[in-house]
Amino acid sequence: MLPKDFERLAKTPDAEVAIDNILVQRLLQNQHPDLAHLDIVPVDAGWDNAMFCLSDSGTDTRFESVPERCANRLSVRLPRCQIAAALIDHEQTWLPRLAAQLPIAVPVPYRVGVPALGYPWRWSVLPWLNGSPADLEPPHPGQASRFGEFLRALHTPAPTDAPKNPFRGVPLQDRAAAIAERLARLETKTDLITPTLKTLWQAALNAPIDTPAIWLHGDLHPRNILVKDGLLTGIIDWGDMTSGDRATDLAAVWMLFDDRNARLDAIAAYGFLSEATLRRALGWAIFFGVVLLDTGLVDHPRHAAIGEKTLLRIAEAGDSGI
């Protein structure tokens, strides 16, 4: 997950609390002792959360990858910093209510953990969703329509008490100042910030929000989308979920699909989108691409690669950006 204020960061933030296998085991023994006998396998540490898999110690794992070892099992997700603690609360509260309407699996919390043993925040035990992040295993172009259908199913009216997020689903003009410095810096480091890209960005900034606020994932980049054998298998990291402009999520179409026809299929499956909404969606894709590339060039090659591919797709699409 990318932190809410990641456009202001120069590098991946350090963890505010040390999280390791020993801490996870102690927390399980303290609160969910029936799970404490399972092997704890470190999986990943993103911007905001650390992830571990719970695996049966009786399984022969000598020749298995982590995804194979953890298939059909459980995972533990713990915030690494204060800002992520509120995001875990969002997932625990709202994902159980949204899951039934979504055509792709999401990690509805199986157990909830509370602060204990020196660890200060709530945490979750989740179902392990099979698949690899889409930046490592891209989805087949034929999955584009399914992705558009997922977005359509998600993008429904949110209640008035839905989580507020001042960074996602907001007018792109609110993000313009934060992006200007990064655009200028990348222009000196790469050849990706072309005149066409800057024109598309300006058009997105000028495009009015002409649709009502709806439920958003808010952080729908490829590391939060799971793929197995080319098929979409899960959508994870829902801490930034909020109500706002659907264009924020639609940006994922450019981050996921290299093939222009696939992008068009995703948009068609979603349903009618105004020209202004398409422009804003393209602007959010530029936003994510710029931030991921700029921060990734400092200390995160995977983020840099996602950003570079996104901006290249937009550049190669020409004046339309699509």
Question: Domains in the chain, please, with CATH?
Answer: 6-129 (3.30.200.20), 141-320 (3.90.1200.10)
Per the CB < 8 A criterion, the answer to whether 2 and 68 are in contact is: no
The predicted pLDDT at position 293 comes to 97
Q: In order along the chain (322 residues), what is the average pLDDT of each group of 10 residues?
A: 45 81 97 96 84 76 53 86 90 96 97 97 95 97 98 97 94 94 95 95 97 97 97 96 98 97 98 97 97 92 96 91 87
The predicted pLDDT at position 133 comes to 95
**What separation in angstroms does the CA of 105 have from each of 93, 95, 134, 204, 294?**
17, 11, 15, 31, 31
Strand runs (DSSP E) across 199-252, as ranges?
214-216, 225-228, 231-235, 242-244
The predicted pLDDT at position 25 comes to 97
pTM: 0.90
